[in-house]
Structures are given as C-alpha cells and as structure tokens.
Amino acid sequence: MRFDTLYREKRRSPEDAVRVVKNGDTIVVPTGVAEPPKLLEALSAQRREFEGVTVSQILPVRKYDYFDPETVRHVRHVAYFFGGASRPGGQEGWVDYRPSYFSEMPALIERGLMPADVVFSLASPMDEHGWFSLSLGPDYTMAAIKKARAVVLEVNPNVPFANGNCHVHISQVAALVESEDPVFEVGLPTIGPVQQAIGKYVAEMIPDGATLQIGYGAIPDAVVMQLTDKKDLGVHTEMIGDGIMTLVEAGVVNNRRKNYLPGKMVATFGLGSKKLYQFMHRNPALEMHPVDFTNDPYLAGQNDHLIAINATMQIDFLGQCGSESQGVKVYSGTGGQADFVRAANRSRGGKAFIVLPSTAKDDTISRIAPVLSPGTHVTTSKNDIDYVVTEYGVAQLRGRTAHERAKSLIAIAHPKFRDELTEAARKMRLMV
C-alpha cells in the first residue's frame, strides 16, 4: 500500500507537473515514441512562462507547439538526432544539435558534458513493487534519470512493461501524470524494386546463426523480408521494430546461437505498431537496455557473425559515408551507425553493410561520388567501412587499397554515371 500512497501523492495534472522545470533547465526526453505527449503539450502551452529551457531528444515524432522560432528564448529544442519534427528548425538554424555517438551519450550525461536537469518520459503502469518500465526508450534516459534533479513520468497502460535495465522506482519520481492515449505508431516504409534488389544482395550474405542489427528504413526492412528461409538468427540491435517481430513469429529468430546473452533479444528503443508494443510486454525473450550497453562495440561484437545493416545518403571513392547531412544541410544525426559498424568489424565472421540506392532525385545525382559534397558530415569513416551495397551489387572495401575501392564502387554505381566517375577517378590518380 505504501507504493500506492506515494503514487497518489505524486500524481499531478500535466499543467502542474511541468512546473518542476526551472528557467535554464535542460529537459531530456527519450527516443521517438517514448516521448510523453501530455507533458510536452503542457510545456508547449506554458512555454512563454519559461526562460532558457532546452528540450533534448533523439528523433521526435510529433511537432509540438514549442517547435516555434518565435519562442526559442523560452523553450528551444536541441537535437541529439533530427527527425521530421525537428529537421526544418535545424536546417533553418533555430534548432541546435549535439553531435555524438549514440553509445557515448550516457557517459557524456554522467560526466556533465551533456546537461540533464529534468527527465520527461512515457512509462508503463507501476507494478506491485513500485517499479515503472521505460520500455520504449531506456537509451540515454536511464543515465539522465541518475543525473536529473527531477523525473516526471507520463504513465500510460498502452506502454509495455519490458524486462531489462529499463525500470524506474516510484521513489525516484518527482511527479507523474496519467494518460490512456494509444502509443504513437510508426508504419513500415515503402519498399520498391530498388530496395528489394539491395535487400536480396544483403540477405544472400547472411548465414544461418547470425546475430542481426537492423536500422530503420525501407532497405533494412527489405532485407528482413528476405530472411524467412534462414535458421537460428539472433538479435542485438538498437531498435526493435515490426520486421524483427515478424521474424520471431516465423520462427527465424530464436537467439539460440548467440554468444552474448543467448536466448535473448537486446534493444534500446522500440519503434513500430501497436502489435509490436504488445509483443514487447513482459516478453521473456526480450530485454531493453540503455544504449551504452546495446551499442557498445565490444559487447555487441562478442556475438559471432554479427550483421550490421545501416543506410547512408552518399559515399566517396575512399568509402567515407555521409549519412546525416546533405552538404552542410543537416538531415538526421550520427546515431548508432558507427557503433555497429565497429561492432561487426570486431565480431568473428561479422559483416557491416552500408546500403544506399545508387542515385537520388530521379536518377539525376549519383550517390557514389569522387568526394563527399562540401560540408557533409562524415558518419562512417574510410577506416571502418566494410561492405557497400546498391541495387547494382556489392563492393567489399575493408582492407582494400584506395585504387581498389574506387574501382569497386564505380562498378556498383548507376550505369549512366560510371564513365564520368571513372574519368574523375583517373584525374584523382585513383585509376590508370
């Protein structure tokens, strides 16, 4: 009964709960659908009453009213990774961002290099022992909870109670609000023939018994769709989505042959459908953990045959990947791509795939370029790159010379650009 009493004492309206925020505070919000809508709506409504407040988050999925260039001196978004809600402000300059490897965010928060004064998070209902589950996004949020002056939860019965290091006790909570709205659902991307072709190349190189890290996007989902004939796959990833759930239901993923945490899927945030969130609820085969655990290259790389599949927007002849900006124009963020490329490179028999369509803008631009566009943010370095896949084939770059890399990449470029890419390589003394 003591926990129920504490719960009632800490229950507030959203309008009252956000008053724990002080001027100058940084509010940390979890990734994606773990954001608490009632709290952020209340903050937005009251934003002009604050001065110098920052909201920091990876991938916001709703555009709240605080995304407002006219009120940034009151409440301003500082992105860890841009999404559709934050990208316009980032490109216009009134939304700031903090570059960081996803895996290192908890350490940066712990060391005070990334501020965390208040945490706002969606949470499951409290169990009989006084614990809530932050199942949809323990990511960097668990580190922020340890550092923050105040933790405010939005408790929702539609949030799964998951296993793993993703639990917060009522004694750690300053205030809580209640909601029953459906958790935001993110549909599967559209998969076309280009994505299917890339997915087929990758799927053919994934052996039975491999452990998967699969990012979000049409190409990773196209890979998943073509894995239904595989056996004994495992999962050690940052995002759990509907594609992985489908493989579990088909009996393809059972985690039996994983070296690290056999029998368990491991992830740091969930993003998908209502069915996925129900699948996550008290699932003994799934653990949700902070990102410094899931994305640690040393830990993830202990799994043999770790397969990392991530997308990029542009790659140059040396293999440098620009996955987060279009020139100086910000688009997404560093995220966990480099974490898992390095993890797969450490893994015995591991493979790191960088996937991309060969062209952009209706086949008018080659995504394989002699050099990255000026100002492009390098996400995966030339020293980390392994396999590159377009709809025209696979280029294996790791361990190859600069000349070999250029030749291999030109071979999987769109045919209409191969002659000019070859001429550029000759001028750069990368081909003779």
CA dihedral 260, 281, 15, 146 (to 10 degrees): -20
Domain residue ranges of the chain, discontinuous segments joined by +: 3-178, 193-428
- Alpha-carbon distances, residue 91 vs 2, 58, 122, 326 (angstroms): 49, 16, 28, 10
**Quick one: average pLDDT of 153-179?**
98
Tokens at 218, concatenated: 């049409």
| Span 311-346, pLDDT tens digits | 999 999 999 999 999 999 999 999 999 999 999 999
Whether 270 contacts 240, CB under 8 Å:
yes
CATH superfamily of 193-428: Acetyl-CoA hydrolase/transferase C-terminal domain (3.40.1080.20)
Q: Report the percent of the chain where pLDDT is more than 90.
A: 95
pLDDT category, 136, cuts 50, 70, 90? very high
CB within 8 Å of 242: residues ≥ 6 apart: 188, 272, 273, 275, 276
**Quick one: average pLDDT of 186-209?**
92
pLDDT score for 326: 94
**Quick one: average pLDDT of 253-282?**
97
pLDDT score for 370: 98
Whether 114 contacts 106, CB under 8 Å:
no
**Quick one: average pLDDT of 389-397?**
98
**Quick one: average pLDDT of 237-246?**
95
Residue 188 has pLDDT above 90, yes or no: no
Which residues share a beta bridge with 357? none
Closest-CA residue to 269 (of 20, 113, 83): 83
Closest-CA residue to 292 (of 102, 111, 115): 102
**Local structure of 230: helix, strand or coil:** coil
DSSP state of 75: E
Which residues share a beta bridge with 380? 321
Residue 221 has pLDDT above 90, yes or no: no
Residue 190 has pLDDT above 90, yes or no: no
**Quick one: average pLDDT of 129-136?**
98
By annotation, the residues acting in catalysis are 238
**Quick one: average pLDDT of 377-388?**
98
Domains 3-178 and 193-428 equal at CATH topology level? yes
* Residue 169 φ/ψ, nearest 5 degrees: -90, 150
Residue 157 has pLDDT above 60, yes or no: yes
| Span 76-121, pLDDT tens digits | 999 999 999 999 999 999 999 999 999 999 999 999 999 999 999 9
Task: Return the residue matching tokens 């969930």.
Answer: 270
Per the prediction, the chain carries an average pLDDT of 96
Q: Which of the residue ranges 183-187, 219-223, 253-257, 368-372 would you say has the lowest mean pLDDT?
A: 219-223
Task: For residue 78, give the H/E element and its range.
Answer: strand 75-81
pLDDT category, 1, cuts 50, 70, 90? low
Taking domain 3-178, whether its CATH number is 3.40.1080.10 is answered by yes
Residue 432 has pLDDT above 90, yes or no: no
Residue 301 has pLDDT above 90, yes or no: yes
pLDDT category, 216, cuts 50, 70, 90? confident
pLDDT category, 124, cuts 50, 70, 90? very high
**Quick one: average pLDDT of 23-44?**
98
